[in-house]
Structure 1
Amino acid sequence: MEFIFRQRLDRPDKQGRAVVFGDLHWAGGHRWKMPTGVKVLPAHWQPTKTKRIHTGADNSIQLNLRLTRLLAAVQGVFTAAEGAGKPEADVTQAELEAAVLAVGAGTQRRVKLPAPTAPDPTTAAGGPVPPTATWAEFEKRWRAENEQTLSESYLRAAKQVVTGLGEFDPTLRLASLTKERLAQYVAWLYTQSKRDSTVQRHYKFLRECYRLAELPQPRWLGKFTARYGRSPTLRQAEVRALLTAELPADLAQERDAFLLQLLLLLRDVDLRALKPHHVGAHDLPTYGPTLCVELYQQKTGEPVLIPLPPTAAAIWQRCEGQLHLPTQQERNRRLKLLGQAVGLNREFVEVGFSGKTRTEQVQPLWQVITTHTARHTGAALLVLGSEGDQTLKEIALGHVSASVYGYDTLERYGPRLLEAWEVALGPWPVHSATAT
């Protein structure tokens, strides 16, 4: 069991206070992002200390006491399970929720538990979802648990899975799902030209259904390995051409958004969530005061803390910390026009996998560029500029949360990130977003 208190910086209230939540992982692949009811200013949050909330915060004593009680409640559930010889993987979220509810908040010692009611499969706190429930009922419960922490596109994908299950067999339920029926369903998905990545999404949702029903996950529903074709990335010379091109206003604006994504290795959803309070100056060795971005990734909830290279800092200051982005669909359309304007005509072989079928399509690079190309390009250039330092790339991508969540680590890795960017792209041109 691993339990960490974290603070979400992307949704502060009107007073600037950010929510503290408990991030709990335990055996069996279980994860629960536990609400704590605690909000404090980021300046008052000190997660590495015993008193996690600084004494300068209002009600710091009560808030620290609450966090301590919540931690003790969670640990108590696992200690009791161990004493009873119960496997850690069999501990349920419902048990943890009951223990957390029992400790109460603030100065309250205990809160009276509500009287037991009949399970309601469409609510987040109604006990296990019956295995005979519809897939839509499972999706509703799953959404209720995750809509505060996952992006809307990720939530929408679950609804698409429910639609597929209904089209395959309207009578199919979790109670009647077998290894043979799953194989038939996967085969049907492939007849619908679904790619491996889509099938993988269906596997994940079905595993969540077993968790929500509090049933053991069958071995035949284990991890599904999806095959992916190589994602398009821009080369050094192509990025340099993008940096220096004279463009009309709308494409120059899209270039700024794309470059900011590329240099910070952000997903589109995280770029949209970027707010002025996420960027602040930190003193880096040899570089002095440097703008750095600190936020939690929408998809994974993991923290990112990295410096802005000069061009990214210039873009951020030019837009005064307010990015006005069109829809992702419109961004992808503009990126293709941008690629054409810059002359990204290099051939790219787009590969897709759907079961045993492998498809290839040769297209000009500008035709296959999307918002996600920026993140892939940034990762490739960082590896190139750092002479193959994979750790540096993982830190910038936000895959090594334990390493990035600390200002001492920023002081160690921040200068190396800036040096790698300078090697990868050379001297930084500072372009203007004005129309030509």
Structure 2
Amino acid sequence: MTIRFYLHTYQRTDGNRPIYLDVRWGRGTAAGDTESRLRTSSGQSCHPKNWNEDKQRIKSAETGYAKANNKLADLERNAGRLIEQAELDGTILTAEDLLAQLQLVKPTKRKPVTPKPVAVPATVRTLADVYADWKSAYRARLAAKTLSNPQGLISRLAEWRPTQPAVPQEFQPDAHGRCRPLEDFCTWLVEEARLNGKNGTKRERGLYNNTISSYLKQLRKLLKFERLPADWIEDSFSEEIERDPLTFEEVMQLYRHEPLEIKEGSTNYTPRRHVRDVFVFNCLTGPRYSDLVRLKPSDLTLETFKAEDGSKRQVPVLAYDQQKIKRDKTKVRVALDPIAYEIWQRYKGKLPVPSNKHMVATIKILCRAAGLKRKVTHVRGRGAERISREVELWQVVSCHSARYTFITLQFEGGADVVFIQDSVGHANLNTTRGYLKTRLKDRHTSTLAAFDRLRQDQDA
């Protein structure tokens, strides 16, 4: 039995040639010793320069090569199985029977052929199928937000190649350690992909590097779930972004601001004073948004501390279990500033935390109305390009800005970095150090003071 594929001599107008299947096997006719042979189109085609004669497969330079090669492999496997089954059953398998059972053509009315029942080849699993299985497998262990993270990757892959679903096997390296589909996808993300603006309009060509980095992270996760190598994928896009925390004066300025409420009954109505209070509380306590949502009245206790003068005083302490993907839980404890305690009592421990998206949009409106228009430099990367723009502070404020603000204010107020680490629940001290920001004027003062000391030493 011999099974091979070859390019037909016929060339189409687009330069492609059809790929033919050539199968030979013995004792296939009533004559007994005559060899049977089937030559027919496989239904696939490619350009001659992209055909690998030795491997009898399409090279990766051809668009859609992975899907076409999978169909050739299925065809080769099914043909061999049908011939071997006929030999085991002792039945005669003609070229016409084999052609009909491979389902490459339909039997003609003149010569009907009743194909024997065969197992239908399994369909190729796409990355969307893998994601659906991964989501189902982890739905009881991961939060809804975590389960939805890979959806962005799946949507982008569909935009990148609408007519050809992405399959896990094509995101594997070749003999030289390269993966052409992954390279093409990343290039498309940098150069062609666009962000969705308001009302469905398109804006800003190309995605930022950290967004691409998140897609690579999700791709590795799905490949590992499919039991395919994934550690070879290098993330050269991830980059640190320096966020801009609020000063203590700006936090108080926002807290004193009395916002104008939107009309009650609107679909997006949430009292803006509630959002203001929640954000200020977050700036003075530092929990993640996921932990902020889960706070409850019983998380606050009054603890007795001994002051420096020997007197005793009661201090409100917020103690909560931070929500992480890992199963180990960390108890975070942070003493409440009087303003934070006032906000907590105002809502009796039931903070009116809106959705993350609604909170970000409202906070920007409130910060702008409160006059938080300090100029900050916003730097992002898109491929090798660095995009720097000067914006007002309110434009870059987000829910996570509150956590950055808390850590920075604690550091500037003289708190020990280890105590700050305990107050925000970081497992690694370096993570806390990455959050620490010092104001520009403090950096300048420190730099000039260092040179002044050197000059004094030299003069002495």
Q: Does the alignment reach a TM-score above 0.5?
A: yes
- Aligned partners of 2:424 and 2:123: how far apart in 1? 38
Describe the superposition over 1:98-155 as per-residue Cα deviations: whole angstroms up to 9, x where unpaired.
Answer: xxxxxxxxxxxxxxxxxxxxxxxxxxxxxxxx99521122212332344445443333
Alignment partner of 2:144 out of 149, 152, 172: 152
* 1:348 maps onto 2:376 in alignment: yes
Partner of 1:227: 239
Distance 2:295 2:358 in 1: 19
The 3 A distance-change label for structure 1 pair 296 and 145 is: farther
Structure 1 residue 168 displacement after superposition: 2.6
Matches within 5 A, 1:390-405: 390-400=417-427
Once the two structures are superposed, residues 174-232 of structure 1 have per-residue CA deviations (whole angstroms, 9 ceiling, x without a partner) of 2121332222221111121111121111221222123212334342x145551243223
Q: 1:279 to 1:146 in 2, by over 3 A?
A: farther
Say which SS state the counterpart of residue 350 (structure 2) adopts: coil
Instruction: Give the TM-score normalised by the residue count of structure 1.
Output: 0.56
Looking at structure 1, the residues matched to 123 and 331 of structure 2 have their Cα atoms a distance apart, in angstroms, of 39
Q: TM-score, with normalisation over the residues of structure 2? A: 0.53
Q: 1:310 Cα deviation (Å)? A: 2.6
The residue aligned with 1:427 is none
How many Å separate the matches in 2 of 1:155 and 1:390? 33
Aligned-partner Cα distance in 1 for 2:252–2:186: 44
Q: Which amino acid aligns with 2:363?
A: L
- Relative to structure 1, the CA distance from residue 279 to residue 132 in structure 2 (aligned partners, 3 Å threshold; closer, same or farther) is farther
Q: 1 CA distance for matches of 2:154 and 2:421?
A: 33
Residues 100-179 of structure 1: pairs in structure 2 closer than 5 A: 132-169=124-161, 170-177=164-171, 178=173, 179=178
- Partner of 1:133, secondary structure, is coil
Secondary structure (helix, strand or coil) at the match of 1:294 reads strand
Cα offset for 1:316? 1.3
Counterpart amino acid of residue 175 in structure 1: Q
Cα distance in structure 2, aligned partners of 1:352 and 1:207: 24
Give 3-state SS (helix, strand or coil) of 1:241's partner.
Answer: helix
- Cα deviation digits, residues 316-350 of structure 1 (max 9, x gap): 12101212233333322321232123211111222
1:368 aligns with 2:396: yes
Distance 1:358 1:147 in 2: 39
Contact 2:209 2:238 in 1 (8 A): yes
Partner residue, 1:79: none
Structure 2 match to 1:205:
218
CA distance in 1, matches of 2:138, 2:257: 42
Partner residue, 2:363: 335
Relative distance call for 1:247 and 1:217 in structure 2 (3 A) is closer
Cα distance in 2 for partners of 1:280, 1:148 equals 32
Letter in 2 for 1:330: H
Counterpart CA distance in 2 for 1:142 and 1:386 is 46
Paired residue secondary structure (2:410): helix
Post-superposition offset of 1:246: 4.5
Distance 1:266 1:373 in 2: 11
Where structure 2 has 5 or more consecutive residues not aligned to the other structure, the ranges are: 1-121, 194-205, 262-270, 308-312, 430-460
Q: 1:168 to 1:340 in 2, by over 3 A?
A: closer
Contact kept? 2:292, 2:353, Cα under 8 Å: no
SS in 1 for 2:149: helix
- Quick one: distance in 2 between partners of 1:284 and 1:337? 40
Consecutive unaligned residues in structure 1, runs of 5 or more: 1-129, 403-436
User: Following TM superposition, by how much is the alpha carbon of 1:275 offset from its aligned partner in structure 2, in angstroms?
Assistant: 2.1
Q: CA deviation at 1:161?
A: 0.7
In 2 relative to 1, CA 235–284 (structure 1 residues): closer, same or farther, beyond 3 Å? same
* Corresponding residue of 1:270: 291
Equivalent residue, structure 1, for 2:346: 318
Distance in 2 (CA, whole Å) between partners of 1:298 and 1:171 is 33
AA of the residue aligned to 1:333: A
Report which stretch shifted further, 277-286 or 335-344. Answer: 277-286
The SS at the match of 1:211 is: helix
Q: Secondary structure at the match of 1:215?
A: coil
The structure whose RCO (Cα within 8 Å, separation 6+) is larger is 1
* Corresponding position: 1:309 with 2:303: no
CA distance in 2 between partners of 1:152 and 1:182 (Å): 28
Amino acid of the structure 1 residue aligned with 2:419? L
Question: What is residue 190 of structure 2 aligned with on the other side?
Answer: 190
Give the paired residue count: 271
Q: Report how far residue 295 of structure 1 moved.
A: 1.8
| 8 Å Cα contact 2:278-2:352 kept in structure 1 | no
The residue aligned with 2:317 is 291
Q: Structure 1 CA distance, aligned partners of 2:133 and 2:305?
A: 45
CA distance in 2, matches of 1:315, 1:278: 14
Q: Could you tell me how far apart the structure 2 residues matched to 1:277 and 1:306 are?
A: 13
Identity of aligned residues (%): 24
- Where 1:291 maps in the other structure, the secondary structure is strand
Q: Aligned equivalents of 1:277 and 1:132: distance in 2? A: 52
